[in-house]
Amino acid sequence: MYAPSTLLIHTTPDLDRAFQALGCTTLTLQPDSGQQVLDLEKRLHGMDFTPELIVQRENLSCRLLVSGLDRFDCPKIFWGLDSHLNAHWHAAYARLFDISCATQKKWIPAYRQLGAQDVRWLPWYAPAGTWQPWSAREHGFSFVGRFSSQRPARRWMCEHLQQRFAHANPSVRDDISYAQMLELYGRTKIVPNESIFNESNLRLFEAATRGCVVLNPDIGPELEELFEPGREIDIYDSVVDLEDLLARHLADERRAQAMGRAAFERVQAEHLVLHRAQTLLDYAADATANAATGQDAQAWFTVTLARLMESGHIFAQPATVEKQAAHLPQTGTTMASRLRLLATDNSPECAQRIMHILHTVLTDHLFRNDMELNLTASMAALRSALEAKNAAANTDADTNMDAMARTFLLRQLQAGGRTSAPPAPGRENLLLAWARLLHRAGKTIRAGLPFSVKNHLPGSAVECLILLLSLHPEHMEALRLMESLTHSIRGTEQARVGYLSLLTLHEPDDWRMGLELAIADLRSYRRTAGEEELRNALKAARQQEQEKHFIRALTARDPSGLLRRLAKIETENQR
């Protein structure tokens, strides 16, 4: 039995106990208060412990980077928890480990595209539960989670369900401890779940381990590998489906209790911390040496640090970190990270450093085929042009920076073998061209990064369009392209409601766009607005004698038939 001496970094006590139960000798390291970087060799100095396996788990309350990992010749595993929100830095940090684990299976290809080597699935888990008799469950449904202005859909869902099912004695809380949450779920029959970006989340496992019926958003095939829909959980597509499921489970307690019991047993059999610890040991047993070493490790550590600083998870002086990065062997990724770091600081020193890097890249013809560098440099030059314009600065400087931004675009087009005519000059055309290039390269969105036009350089197709729309809020081509790029990305519905509202305002006869707005509303738990938009879209289709096309399009998006019933299509067609 493989039971290595295991060094656990920034993990919780339950994982430590699980490794010990599996026969491992363990040592757990926690950062000091406020510590953002842990020098592993220095921290272990003087301790009588030689790790045969190193496991770091992401801590969502404070991020920690570990330096000096390459000095330890043993398997190293990083377990990233919020894969759906942090892939942009997880993938870089993964280069310092032999294996990286993601809680979201669907994000593994994105990790690999971003450069991570060996990426494996390791889902969330729950504490062991105890079964509570259904007769002791006083709340028809409960929800526990944080509410904020960044998560309006969560509030919309809870407010709608509380109003619709007030008779079920609902409990919605955001101010209780972990132990109190588990106790509440033990007194709850049903838990409607909500996700930020179409992910499987901890709430799914926490509610299931207490025997609740979980009504979960349809996040795709990986959910079926965790729980069996229809037997252990139920899934929904929109607030209409959610409302219907909740009503049926409240009315049929025998079926609901059976589903809650099945979910409870599935967790105890497969989804406890002991199961995840065993999987980590299995992964470590066949790990190969993928972790970067030497100056390559230093470079990836710095790239990770830069990305965490850009996203606001770690705080340091951008100019200081950039100067340190400048002394490392340069790659396109490293130079792009330096530019992004400097762009978060509006000081004259950082502005001068940006200009130095841009001129060096062009003059020395550095990394001509690197898309990340070409994009970042183009956006940095565009930022300088926009700032010069806003400051009523020298027009020649403004023009020169626009020309430089276009030069980096042309570099990328040439690198991709583009033979057709380049896009016309102009900032709008520049951003549209980059958005299309990035989408084709699979860089549509950087989920989780709170992109700010003021503080960040665009790094994805969506961010290029956000910048364009900040300059021209009703730019129709940009709005249409935004809708085209995001309509199939679950988790973007709240943002799409805004873009689609503008499009339908300008094009009220486009029933297809109206239908998209209705579905986005309903998936954002905007029941009343979604119903109104659905009927408006049907009305527009009828006026154009395209009702059959409308019904066909709606049917493809409505497997349950509830949206057709909501639009009163079947009833009216029978008349």
| CATH class for the domain made up of 134-268 | alpha beta
The bridge status of strand 99-102 relative to strand 76-80 is parallel
Which is higher by pLDDT, 148 or 334? 334
Q: What is the pLDDT of residue 391?
A: 65
Judge whether residue 572 has pLDDT over 50. Answer: no
Average pLDDT estimate for 390-395: 60
Q: What is the pLDDT of residue 573?
A: 45
CA distance 93 to 265: 36
Name the 3-class secondary structure at 191. Answer: strand
Neighbouring CB atoms inside 10 A of 561's CB total 12
One DSSP character per residue, 376-398 reads HHHHHHHHHHHHHHHTT--HHHH
- Per-chain mean pLDDT for the chain: 94
CA distance 46 to 103: 35
Sorting pLDDT into bands at 50, 70 and 90, what band is 395?
A: low
pLDDT tens by residue, 510-543: 999 999 999 999 999 999 999 999 999 999 999 9
Which is higher by pLDDT, 250 or 111? 250
Average pLDDT estimate for 105-111: 91
CA distance 199 to 107: 10
Q: What is the pLDDT of residue 502?
A: 95
Q: What is the pLDDT of residue 575?
A: 39
> Which run of H or E residues covers position 78?
strand 76-80
Q: Of 40-44, 261-265, 396-400, 551-555, which range is least confident? A: 396-400
Judge whether residue 33 has pLDDT over 80. Answer: yes
Whole-Å CA distances, 428 to 144, 313, 460, 478: 44, 31, 16, 9
Q: What is the pLDDT of residue 417?
A: 79
Average pLDDT estimate for 545-553: 96
Q: What is the pLDDT of residue 571?
A: 43
Q: What is the pLDDT of residue 11?
A: 96
499: its two tokens: 């873009």
Whole-Å CA distances, 424 to 13, 192, 326, 399: 59, 50, 35, 15
Strands (E), 107-244: 119-121, 139-144, 171-173, 188-192, 213-217, 234-236
Q: Among residues 227, 316, 299, which one has the least CA distance to residue 265?
A: 227
Sign of the C-alpha dihedral, residues 127, 128, 130, 134?
positive
Q: Among residues 101, 185, 88, 180, which one has the least CA distance to residue 136?
A: 185
In sequence order, which residues have a C-beta less than 8 Å from that of residue 489 and are 6 or more positions away? 444, 445
> Which run of H or E residues covers position 142?
strand 139-144
Name the 3-class secondary structure at 160. Answer: helix
CA distance 20 to 3: 9
Q: Of 365-369, 450-454, 502-506, which range is least confident? A: 450-454
Q: Among residues 275, 289, 282, which one has the least CA distance to residue 1?
A: 282
Cβ burial of 548 (10 Å; 0-12, 13-18, 19+) is: exposed
CA distance 516 to 109: 28
- CATH tag, 6-125+275-294: 3.40.50.2000
- Helices 461-471 and 476-486, packing angle to 10 deg: 150
Side-chain half-sphere CA neighbours of 428 within 13 A: 12
Average pLDDT estimate for 111-133: 93
Residue carrying structure tokens 């599935």: 266
Check if the beta carbon of residue 75 is closer than 8 Å to that of residue 284. yes
Strands (E), 229-370: 234-236
CA distance 550 to 342: 50
Q: What is the pLDDT of residue 574?
A: 41
Q: Among residues 292, 297, 280, which one has the least CA distance to residue 53?
A: 280
Residue carrying structure tokens 């909501």: 566
Sorting pLDDT into bands at 50, 70 and 90, what band is 418?
A: confident
Average pLDDT estimate for 345-363: 94
Q: What is the DSSP letter of 210?
A: T
pLDDT tens by residue, 59-98: 988 999 999 999 999 999 999 999 889 999 999 999 999 9
465: its two tokens: 């369009």
494: its two tokens: 């709240």
Judge whether residue 306 has pLDDT over 50. Answer: yes
